[in-house]
Structure 1
Amino acid sequence: MEEIIWGRRIRAFRKLKGYTQEGFAKELEISVSVLGEIERGNRKPSEELIASVARTLDVTIEELTSIN
């Protein structure tokens, strides 16, 4: 369940900031397939990747975990 929440939040912020999946994956230095798995909730991102996502999107980790 946690994987789904992470994926939805990351995808929402990625789109809000104007990144394509390809462009965002390149910024994070991961493959598009790994990013897709995370966004679909099939893979839980590591703590390091979560920190990198937050930095790249210029949001806090707390914003990524918020379930408003």
Structure 2
Amino acid sequence: MAEIIPLPRSPRPTPHDVEPLWRDALGEQLRRLRHERGERLADTADRAGVSPQYLSEMERGLKEPSSEMIAAVAGALDVTLIELTAAVADDLRSRETERAAVGCRAAFALAA
């Protein structure tokens, strides 16, 4: 009988391997800013001129909002687009640093 030889598989990516999407990082920043202000979703959404459901979907990274929508929500949170963009970029940079550190630790663990 013939022997079955398994083909090598590439490992499945872990959450640390997958680069985060811009919309996810944006949503996390929006939620963080809203929580820092102690606001309800409905309050911020009302000032931004969007529905609470839409803002919730933005915060959860389920929407690809237009630049106009991002500007409206940023304005409702009293931050500029530059401040919001810089905060998202900083978050993405820190995640990349974390991913690199996890990768280094994994490589050292394999070498040991």
TM-score by length of 2: 0.55
Q: How many residues align?
A: 68
Any stretches of 5+ residues in structure 1 without a counterpart? Answer: none
Rounded to whole Å, the distance in 2 between the matches of 1:31 and 1:37 is 10
TM-score by length of 1: 0.85
1:54 Cα offset (Å) = 2.0
Runs of 4+ in 1 over 6 A off after TM superposition: none
Bigger Rg, which one? 2
Aligned with 1:25: secondary structure?
Answer: helix
**Which has the larger helix fraction?**
1
Q: Partner residue of 1:47?
A: 67
Any stretches of 5+ residues in structure 2 without a counterpart? Answer: 1-20, 92-112
1:62 Cα offset (Å) = 2.4
Backbone CA RMSD of aligned residues: 1.3
Structure of greater relative contact order (alpha carbons < 8 Å, 6+ residues apart): 1
Identity %: 37
